[in-house]
C-alpha cells in the first residue's frame, strides 16, 4: 500500500474518498485528507476533512470535485460498494492521473469506461482484492501503535440479512 512506484490509492496525492478508521489513519500517515461519502458523524469523528452525502446529492461527481481544494477531484477513490454505479461515478470524479481502487465484489457489475478520456487524463483502475504481506504488517503496526479504533456491535445471527 505504501509503495510510491505503483500509484497505490493512498500515495501520490493529498485527497482521497472513502471512510474507514484504518483508511483514515493510513491516509494521515502519508499526508492525505479524506472526503467521506457515507455516515457523516462517524466519518468526521474519524478525521474526514469533508463530507458529501452520496444519498442526497443529485450530482455526486460535481459535489465530490467541488469538495476538493482545487475542484479537480480527489487523487484516489477506494470503493467497496455493492453496485456498479459507485465505481463509474468514482472514475469520473477522480482527478487527472487519479486512481480508482475497487475493493468491493458486487455480483454481475461492470464498469463502463470512456477510453479516450481515461487515456487523455491518465486515470487508472487498480483493483485490490487482498493486500500483500507488507500491507498486512503495516496495517497491524497501525493497530499496535493504537491508531486503529475497533468499532463493533453484537447482533443476533438471525438479524444478519437486515444488517448486511
Tens of pLDDT along the chain (164 residues)?
333 322 223 222 334 444 455 666 666 666 777 777 777 777 777 777 788 888 888 998 999 899 888 889 888 888 877 778 888 888 899 999 998 888 777 788 888 888 898 889 999 888 877 667 887 787 788 788 887 777 777 888 988 888 76
Check residue 18 and give its pLDDT.
47
C-alpha dist (Å) from residue 87 to 6, 70, 90: 20, 22, 5
> Would strands 99-102 and 76-79 be described as parallel, antiparallel, or unpaired?
parallel
pLDDT of residue 96: 94
User: For residue 140, how many C-alpha atoms fall within 13 Å in the half-sphere facing its CB?
Assistant: 7
SS3 51: strand
**Distances from the Cα of 95 to the Cα of 99, 100, 121, 139, 161, angstroms:** 8, 10, 8, 27, 36
Q: Whole-prediction pTM value?
A: 0.69
Q: What is the pLDDT of residue 25?
A: 64
Judge contact between 97 and 122, C-beta under 8 A: yes
Amino acid at each position: 500500500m505504501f509503495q510510491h512506484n505503483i500509484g497505490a490509492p493512498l500515495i501520490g496525492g493529498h485527497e482521497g474518498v472513502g471512510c474507514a478508521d484504518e483508511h483514515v489513519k493510513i491516509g494521515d500517515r502519508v499526508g492525505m485528507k479524506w472526503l467521506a461519502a457515507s455516515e457523516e458523524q462517524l466519518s468526521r469523528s474519524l478525521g474526514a476533512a469533508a463530507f458529501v452525502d452520496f444519498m442526497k446529492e443529485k450530482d455526486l461527481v460535481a459535489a465530490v470535485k467541488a469538495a476538493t481544494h482545487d475542484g479537480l477531484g480527489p487523487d484516489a477513490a477506494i470503493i467497496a460498494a455493492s453496485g456498479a454505479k459507485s465505481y463509474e461515478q468514482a472514475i469520473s470524479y477522480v482527478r487527472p492521473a487519479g486512481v480508482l481502487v475497487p475493493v468491493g465484489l458486487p455480483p454481475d457489475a461492470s464498469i463502463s469506461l470512456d477510453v479516450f478520456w481515461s487515456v487523455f487524463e491518465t486515470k487508472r483502475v487498480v483493483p485490490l482484492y487482498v493486500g500483500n504481506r507488507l500491507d498486512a504488517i503495516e496495517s497491524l503496526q497501525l493497530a499496535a501503535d493504537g491508531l486503529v479504533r475497533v468499532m463493533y456491535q453484537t447482533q443476533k445471527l438471525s438479524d444478519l440479512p437486515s444488517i448486511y
